[in-house]
Amino acid sequence: MTTSSNLLIRGAAAVMTGRAGDAARAGAVDIRIRDGRIAELAAHLAPQGDETVIHADGCVVYPGWVNTHHHLFQNLLKAVPAGMNADLQEWLASVPYPRLDRFTPDIFRTAVRLGMAELLLSGTTTCADHHYLYHHGHGAETGDVLFDVADELGMRMVLCRGGNVQSKSSHPGMRATALVPETLDEMLGDIERLKSRYHDASADALRRVVVAPTTPTFSLPPSLLREVASFARGMQLRLHSHLSETDNYVKFCAENFRCTPVQFVADHDWLGPDVWFAHLVAVTPAEIRMLGQTGTGMAHCPVSNARLGSGIAPVRAMVEAGVPMSIGVDGVASNESGSMVHEANFAWLVHRALGGAKQTRVEEVIHWGTAGGAQVLGLPGVGTLAPGQSADLAIYDVSGLRFAGFHDIATAPVAAGEPTPVRDVFVRGRHVVQDGAVVGLDIERLRRDAAHALTALLP
C-alpha cells in the first residue's frame, strides 16, 4: 500500500475534472498530490524527492464518484425472488421490510463491508447512505457500524439517518411487519448523539450526518414534518428523503392533502438548497420549477427506477430548471449492482432512448455523478479534480482489448460501462483500492461472513 500522502500520478491518457462544460476535460495531465489534496494538474510534471510516483499509462482518471443515495444493508438482499417482478409497493413489503429485524449488528456490518467494497471497486469515494434499519428500541448501534466500516475501508461517509415515527398504518413497508416504529424522541435523540460523535461540517468532511426520515409522506405524521425540518436546521444538518418515486406518492398526496408531493413538502419547509430527494420520477412541470427555484437537489437513481418499473425521471427538464443533479445507485435490493459506473452508463443511455441523442452527454453525466453529488451533499471540497480539492480519484485501466478501438478514451468508463476495471482509488490521498483490490479487506473472510449472513436472511 502507498502510505505517502505526497503522490504524483503520471502518464494517464486522459483526466476528467468533474466540472461542467469546457472545463470537463483536463487532457493528458499529471496530478500532484500533497497532504491529501491536489496541488497541481499539468503536463509532464517532474517527481519531487518526497513523492511516490503512480504510473497511470493506459489509464484514465476520474474524480471519485459521489453516490448520493444508497441503502448499504441491502447488499445481502440482491435478487430476492419475491421481489424480482414486483413494483415498489410490493417490493417494499416483500424484500426489505420483512427482514429488517433480522439485521443484527454483525449481519449489518457484513452487508456494509460488501456494499462499500463494491462501490470502491467502481471508483466511488463518497457514499450517502440512507439508512433506515430503525424500529422501537433497535438500530441505534448500526449508525456507528457504518462509520466504523467507512473508517476501515477509507470511504467518505454521509449517514442519512432514516426511520419511521408512529406511522405504521400508512407506511407501505412497515405495515407488512410486526415492528413497532420508534418514537420521535428516539429518532431525534439518536441524531443528536450521532452529530456530536461524528459530524464534521468542513468542505471535505470524511463524516457527515443528515436528517432523513424514510419518506416525508409515509414516515411521519404531517404535523411533525415541519418540526423535524426545524430541528435539522437548528442543528445545521441537511435534509434528505425519498419523494415521488412512483405515482403512488402523487395519488396519496392528492387524496390526503389535495396537492402534489412537492407542494406538500414545500408547505412543511422541506425545500431548499440544504435538501435533496431521491427519485423524483413522478413530478409535474410546476413541481420542477419549485425544485429549481428553491435549489432543492435530486439524487437520480435510473437503474432502480427501471428495475422496479417506476418510470424515468425528467432529468433534462430538471437540469434546465436549475435543479442540482446528482446520481445514486439506490439499494442493491432494487438494482443488483452497487456500481456508479453502471449507474452512469445507464443514466447516459436511458434518457436518449426516451428523448433522443441530445438528452445527455458523457461529460455531463460525469459532472452529475461527481461535482453534482458534492453540491447536493454540501461538500464543495470534493467531486472535482482541481488544485486545492481533496485527492479523491479513481484510476481506470483502459488498456484492455475492449478499449482498443476508442477514439475518445476519456469517455470509456461511462460510454462502455462495465466491465471497466478500477485499478487504483484514493480518498483524501489514502490508497483505498490498489491494483484492483480493496486495501485491508480480507476477502475470504468476507465471503464466509456473507454466506453465513445470507442464511439468516433466507427466504
Identify the H or E element spanning 69. Answer: strand 65-70
The minimum distance between CB 300 and Zn ion, in angstroms, equals 12
Task: Work out whether strand 325-327 and strand 297-300 pair parallel, antiparallel, or are unpaired.
Answer: parallel
> What is the number of residues in the chain?
459
Sheet holding 52-55, edge to edge: 37-42, 30-34, 7-10, 52-55
The minimum distance between CB 422 and Zn ion, in angstroms, equals 24
- Judged by beta carbon, residue 63 or residue 163, the one nearer Zn ion is 163
The minimum distance between CB 177 and Zn ion, in angstroms, equals 18
Contact at 8 Å (CB) between 349 and 362?
no
Task: Work out whether strand 25-27 and strand 430-434 pair parallel, antiparallel, or are unpaired.
Answer: unpaired
The minimum distance between CB 279 and Zn ion, in angstroms, equals 7
- Cα–Cα dist 316/368, whole Å: 12
The minimum distance between CB 330 and Zn ion, in angstroms, equals 5
* DSSP symbol at 371: I
The cell for 39 is 496541488
Name which of 13, 16, 67, 14 is nearest 385 in CA terms.
16
The cell for 402 is 475492449
The minimum distance between CB 132 and Zn ion, in angstroms, equals 9
- Judged by beta carbon, residue 204 or residue 330, the one nearer Zn ion is 330
- Judged by beta carbon, residue 63 or residue 372, the one nearer Zn ion is 372
* DSSP symbol at 236: T
Q: Which residue has the cell 519531487?
A: 48
The minimum distance between CB 170 and Zn ion, in angstroms, equals 18
Amino acid, single-letter form, for residue 323: V
Q: Which residue has the cell 476477502?
A: 443
Which positions from 271 through 330 interact with Zn ion, judged by CB under 5 A? 330
- Cα–Cα dist 428/297, whole Å: 25
The minimum distance between CB 87 and Zn ion, in angstroms, equals 14
**Cβ neighbours around 27 below 10 Å, total:** 14
Site mask, Zn ion, residues 330-369, x = CB under 5 A?
A: x---------------------------------------
The cell for 52 is 511516490
Residue nearest to Zn ion (CB): 330
- Cα–Cα dist 220/208, whole Å: 23
Site mask, Zn ion, residues 90-129, x = CB under 5 A?
A: ----------------------------------------
- Judged by beta carbon, residue 19 or residue 71, the one nearer Zn ion is 71
- Judged by beta carbon, residue 330 or residue 363, the one nearer Zn ion is 330
- Judged by beta carbon, residue 182 or residue 330, the one nearer Zn ion is 330
What are the start-end ranges of the E strands in 224-348?
239-243, 275-279, 297-300, 325-327
- Judged by beta carbon, residue 9 or residue 278, the one nearer Zn ion is 278
- Judged by beta carbon, residue 310 or residue 384, the one nearer Zn ion is 310
Please work out the total of residues on this chain that contact Zn ion, with binding judged by CB under 5 A. Answer: 1
Torsion of CA 405, 125, 338, 353, to 10 degrees: -50
The minimum distance between CB 69 and Zn ion, in angstroms, equals 6
- Judged by beta carbon, residue 18 or residue 216, the one nearer Zn ion is 216
Chain-centroid distance of CA 310 in Å reads 19
Enumerate binding residues for Zn ion (CB under 5 A).
330
